[in-house]
Structure 1
Amino acid sequence: MQSTGNTILITGGGSGIGAALAHEFHQAGNQVIIAGRRQSALDAVIADHPGMAAMTLDMEDAAAIPGFAQALIADFPGLNAVVLNAGIMVAEDRIDLETAEATIATNLLGPIRLAHALLPHLQKQPASTILTVSSGLAFVPLAATPTYCATKAAVHSWSMSLRAQLKDSSVEVVEIVPPAVQTDLMPGHAENPNALPLADYIAETMALLRQEPTPPEIHVERVKYLSEAAQRGELEDVFRTLNSH
């Protein structure tokens, strides 16, 4: 993925990792469009970034995605990158069906639907990138958030398969794999001393994205405790430690 001169859509761009990535890509000379459910949050981000654009989108709303994609392409015909970052993480007591279905719709079906809607356009570009966002919990699940972890494991698997399917096309697929980061994804995360400060996470992630060629998976050092647990033969031990509190 080239570092500058792109036209990039970032879903979930009104806060947290999405807003921080939007800032960095904008500063690097890219046209950035952020999308999210809350117009007020989007407005707050673009107010500090002249030239950045915003469009509302609820990733859980399947019917809204095709029209959103059409409007996006019409307004930004140079679109050549999309960061599928929007997601929700909610603690569940055993099986909470309403939470589970909303999480699957937002975290998994939403990215698949949006990628499906944008892929024909991206394939026409000389070079384009789909960046998915999974999680270290895709590799070792947190029992308190089972559906979140399941969706992120599915995003990881889907990213691998999509990359293989598109290997002879102009579209590259890059998977970003965050650890616990100090954001408002869940209550208490922003103050969690064991989570990686957002600025540190973004700096390390952007450095990896600037490598040539771009790695197919972006693993900062902090996430490797989870993402490489199976390779080290420590999956059961890490799962037990992660879920012992």
Structure 2
Amino acid sequence: MSSTRLTPLPITHKQPYAAVSPDRPELSQASKTVLVTGGGSGIGSAIANSFAQAGASTIVLVGRREEVMQLAAQTLREGSAKSNPQLQVHIHTVDITDSESIAKLWGWLAENNIVVDVLVLNAGRQSVVKTVLELGSKEVFESFKVNVFGHMEFTERLYKQDRSNSSGPAVVINVSTAAAWDLKSGGPVPVYCLTKNSGTMLLQQIAQDVPREKMRIISFHPGLVRTETTKGLFPNSGPGEAPWYSCKLKYLLPVHFEDVATDAGFSLAELPGNFAVWLASSEAAFLHGRYVEASWDVEEFKSGKIKEQIENDPYLLKVGILGCHP
């Protein structure tokens, strides 16, 4: 890990803004095939919608619940009827922890000559508020199977595709979390922190071994977004209800917890959705192997001191041990 601190970002966002708009020609995903794990709801669905808006030709939604994905696919098609009428949407029920289920999906893609250009690793397993030893080895391993090994299998299969007829590198976008590095704040759910940290480190290592001209890999924290997961974790986070500090997970994310009762602590799902499209563009190529956050302003990243810091420090915005780097 770098001992350098990133120059503070004076501008942050909780809502979509022009620089990450999927309507920008520079961010076009025309002719691209995008596969989103956990794509049926929440952040995964928002990411799929943003890629559809950016002109992707094919979107493959992968998840556990077919009825949820059917609804997400219908929403995608209806929302793209005018702006992207040629969009093809496919859904596949896949168990991320089952190698045979994953192999069946990629076998279908190969049989249908579908080459994935952008892989979004959004599927994840949340943990409960218990220590590692209280949960036990079986539950810890189940979390590793989703948050680490699932990422590995999908990324490996993307890497081994025949891309001889494809232009540009394959792109892997890992939906990580601030809990992957802020282990103190994520203390109430240590297994989630542990496995998301490991999954992010895994992709960081793969990125170190693979040139960005062949496969570009970036991890990002989507921000605190209202989804089924956050609703379950933070039952008192609705507008007009008890403030978030009544929840025993109040230290999970670095936000002003009293703001959550008025929605001020949450980002709109469209922000990480649009940010993912930006990450898939050539503008974000210099972030290969790094971790970033959807709230950060991309205009500040693309030029100036921050970009210079990133390009000059191979350890900046990466998982590691602070203090050991010479």
TM-score of the two chains, using structure 2 as the length reference: 0.62
Question: Which secondary structure state, in structure 2, belongs to the residue aligned with residue 96 of structure 1?
Answer: helix
- 1:129-176 deviations in Å (ceiling 9; x for gaps): 111221111111211211111111112212221111111652111222
Deviation at 1:67, TM superposition (A): 2.0
* 1:13 equivalenced with 2:13 (yes/no): no
Distance 1:69 1:203, change over 3 A: closer
Q: Is this contact kept in 1: 2:147–2:196, CA < 8 A?
A: yes
Q: Which residue of 1 aligns with 2:270?
A: 199
Question: Which secondary structure state, in structure 2, belongs to the residue aligned with residue 92 of structure 1?
Answer: coil
Letter in 1 for 2:129: E
Q: Is this contact kept in 2: 1:179–1:222, CA < 8 A?
A: no
Map 1:128-167 → 2, pairs under 5 A? 128-141=170-183, 142-167=186-211
Q: Is this contact kept in 1: 2:116–2:158, CA < 8 A?
A: no
Map 1:1-245 → 2, pairs under 5 A? 3-4=28-29, 5-30=31-56, 31-50=58-77, 51-94=88-131, 95-97=134-136, 98-121=138-161, 124=164, 125-127=166-168, 128-141=170-183, 142-167=186-211, 169-186=213-230, 187-189=232-234, 191=238, 193=260, 194-207=265-278, 209-210=280-281, 212-214=283-285, 215-216=287-288, 217-221=291-295
Q: Is this contact kept in 1: 2:130–2:190, CA < 8 A?
A: no
54-63 or 19-28, which deviates more: 54-63
Q: Is this contact kept in 1: 2:39–2:69, CA < 8 A?
A: yes
49-58 or 180-189, which deviates more: 180-189
Q: Partners in 1 of 2:124 and 2:39 — Cα distance?
A: 11
Distance 1:59 1:156, change over 3 A: same
How many residues end up aligned between the 2 structures? 224
Deviation at 1:196, TM superposition (A): 2.6
Deviation at 1:112, TM superposition (A): 0.5
48-57 or 81-90, which deviates more: 48-57
Q: Which residue of 1 aligns with 2:9?
A: none
20-29 or 88-97, which deviates more: 88-97
Question: Which secondary structure state, in structure 1, belongs to the residue aligned with residue 129 of structure 2?
Answer: coil
Letter in 2 for 1:151: T
Q: Partners in 2 of 1:208 and 1:13 — Cα distance?
A: 17
Q: Partners in 2 of 1:140 and 1:150 — Cα distance?
A: 11
TM-score of the two chains, using structure 1 as the length reference: 0.80
- 1:153-204 deviations in Å (ceiling 9; x for gaps): 1122122211111116521112222233221124045746233332344345
Q: CA RMSD in A?
A: 2.6
Deviation at 1:76, TM superposition (A): 4.6
Q: Partners in 2 of 1:168 and 1:13 — Cα distance?
A: 25
- 1:76-105 deviations in Å (ceiling 9; x for gaps): 523222111100212132231343222111
- Structure 1, unaligned stretches of length 5 or more? 224-230, 232-245
Structure with more relative contact order (C-alpha pairs < 8 Å, separation 6 or more): 2
Deviation at 1:38, TM superposition (A): 0.4
Q: Partners in 2 of 1:206 and 1:117 — Cα distance?
A: 21
- Identity of counterpart residues, as a percentage? 21
Distance 1:112 1:137, change over 3 A: same
Distance 1:205 1:112, change over 3 A: closer
Distance 1:183 1:46, change over 3 A: same
